[in-house]
Amino acid sequence: MKCFYQIILVITLLLLLAIPSCTQTDYLNESQPDRDARMKWWRDARFGMFIHWGLYAVPAGEYKGERVKGIGEWIQASLNIPCDEYEQFAKQFNPVKYDPAEWVSLAKQAGMKYLVITSKHHDGFSLWDSDVSDYDVVDSTPYGKDLLVPLSQECKKQGIKFCVYHSILDWHHPSQYVDPEADNPLRGHSRNKIHADKKADYVKYMKTQLKELVNKVDPAVLWFDGEWVEWWTEEDGKNLYNYLRSMKPEMIINNRVGKGRKGMEGLSKGAEYAGDFGTPEQQIPAKGLPGVDWESCMTMNDTWGYKYFDDNWKSTETLIQNIIDIASKGGNYLLNIGPTAEGLIPEESVIHLKEIGNWMDAFGETIYESSASPFEKPDWGRFIQKDDKIHAYVFDWPENRKLAVPLAADKIKRALIIGKFDAELLKVESIVEGSIIHLPEFKSIEIVPVIVIEQK
């Protein structure tokens, strides 16, 4: 009899031990309050820095006298450079001028609240010391030091969130190859295929690398890309999403972990697609993406990775207007820089970021923790809501100085123009469609003037 009870006890203990693996959390079915709590810092942040950095900064857009027409980080594919030739750039990648403290402080100065850096782009080269690959900055470059660890430490020190980009497709990994039957074989690497029998190995490799990143640099966001290849499925994405969140439950993961890029509007609704936010690229959706979290990533010139001859810089005014336009639709702005192989941020980017920072110093508080405009966008600019205040951003200062606002005058406590130089109460006049705010006689000198409308 005693033996019988002992057997029952052992079986019960074994069952109890087995329970955790049977009841693994499905992070795709998170409750709304949990999700809101997890997304809070990201939603409040509104503005972040994207960094595309890797071996492609060595050719900087030109190889054997040929200039790449498209984006710099695609040079391997666009100029069809064989892997063993491209690998040689590692010997010239020596970013001795890299100063993570300066990079983070520049991002902060610009008013950015988080930073997302390429841990590995499509070329497969890792910017940290990976245990499962020698194709990384420590093992294959003269520099020989990890680039991500010091940057993550600086972010912690200076109080901004550290996040990483990671490419699912990998032009360097032996599991993948260029499809010779591709529509355009000269852009061979873009037609990435996988040897079916090697996919499991690659996924294991990717998960190991991602685990290394979680352990070494503790990213707040994992920003995937390169998911469009046929061999990566939504099921793979969901599995990866759960894998990462089971390691770090508070992690935020973009929709490119799976196939949600096309159906951004369906994102996270009933977990049709894995991922926490939509990622419009080089565009600002006309009406935002109502009902989902989203972030527009954009370049300052025309390339993500450094290209020495790309001088097509957007104006600071455009970049500030983009921050405002995106926030007025409830999104985040992820603005890119492409540092050089020496580790320098291009001078034009630094100038733009400092100018943006001057504006954000004065008006950033109206952007952070804000929500989308309750009104349609007016002809003259944008609205953003923050608590019970509406902020009006004047892109085009009307010659007659009359700003039409779709809010009844008797609902307005007061309207004032704010800023470093202006702080003036403005006259509010009632009209049938709402009210007219009378702007000051002299046009504001701010890049984008801001009016606060306090509601009753």
Complex with ligand FHN: residue 76 or 316, whichever CB lies closer: 76
For residue 114, which of 35, 166, 51 has the smallest C-alpha distance? 51
Complex with ligand FHN: residue 81 or 439, whichever CB lies closer: 81
- 71 is an interface residue for ligand FHN by CB under 6 A: yes
Q: Pick one of 73, 87, 154, 170: the residue that binds ligand FHN (CB under 6 A).
A: 73
Q: Residue 428 CB, nearest distance to ligand FHN (Å)?
A: 43
- 325 is an interface residue for ligand FHN by CB under 6 A: no
Cβ 242 vs Cβ 26: under 8 Å: yes
Q: What is the largest CA-CA distance in the chain?
A: 98
Six-digit token string for 38: 């997890």
Select from 21-29, 67-75, 181-189, 309-317 the region that touches ligand FHN (CB under 6 A).
67-75
Q: Residue 78 CB, nearest distance to ligand FHN (Å)?
A: 11
- 87 is an interface residue for ligand FHN by CB under 6 A: no
Select from 66-74, 108-116, 346-354, 401-409 the region that touches ligand FHN (CB under 6 A).
66-74
Select from 56-64, 69-77, 147-155, 385-393 the region that touches ligand FHN (CB under 6 A).
69-77
Distance CA 267, CA 264 (A): 5
For residue 317, which of 177, 448, 155 has the smallest C-alpha distance? 448
Distance CA 185, CA 179 (A): 7
Complex with ligand FHN: residue 225 or 446, whichever CB lies closer: 225
Complex with ligand FHN: residue 73 or 325, whichever CB lies closer: 73
Cβ 240 vs Cβ 202: under 8 Å: no
Q: Pick one of 297, 356, 384, 452: the residue that binds ligand FHN (CB under 6 A).
A: 297
Q: Any idea what DSSP says for residue 406?
A: S
Select from 6-14, 71-79, 191-199, 206-214 the region that touches ligand FHN (CB under 6 A).
71-79
Q: Ramachandran region of residue 111, left (φ > 0), alpha (ψ -120 to 50) or beta?
A: left
- 77 is an interface residue for ligand FHN by CB under 6 A: no
Which phi and psi angles does 328 have, rounded to 5°? -65, -15
Q: Residue 372 CB, nearest distance to ligand FHN (Å)?
A: 23
Q: Pick one of 225, 276, 293, 310: the residue that binds ligand FHN (CB under 6 A).
A: 225
- 125 is an interface residue for ligand FHN by CB under 6 A: no
Select from 68-76, 138-146, 178-186, 317-325 the region that touches ligand FHN (CB under 6 A).
68-76
Cβ 95 vs Cβ 342: under 8 Å: yes
Distance CA 69, CA 307 (A): 10
Q: Residue 7 CB, nearest distance to ligand FHN (Å)?
A: 58
Query: Given strand 434-438, what is the order of strands in its sheet?
Result: 381-386, 389-394, 450-455, 412-418, 424-431, 434-438, 402-405
Distance CA 412, CA 391 (A): 12
In a 3-state reduction of DSSP, which class is residue 272? coil
Q: Pick one of 281, 302, 342, 348: the residue that binds ligand FHN (CB under 6 A).
A: 281
Cβ 349 vs Cβ 300: under 8 Å: yes
**Which helix (H) or strand (E) element contains residue 414?**
strand 412-418
- 304 is an interface residue for ligand FHN by CB under 6 A: yes
| Residues found near ligand FHN in the complex (CB under 6 A) | 71, 73-74, 225, 281, 297, 304
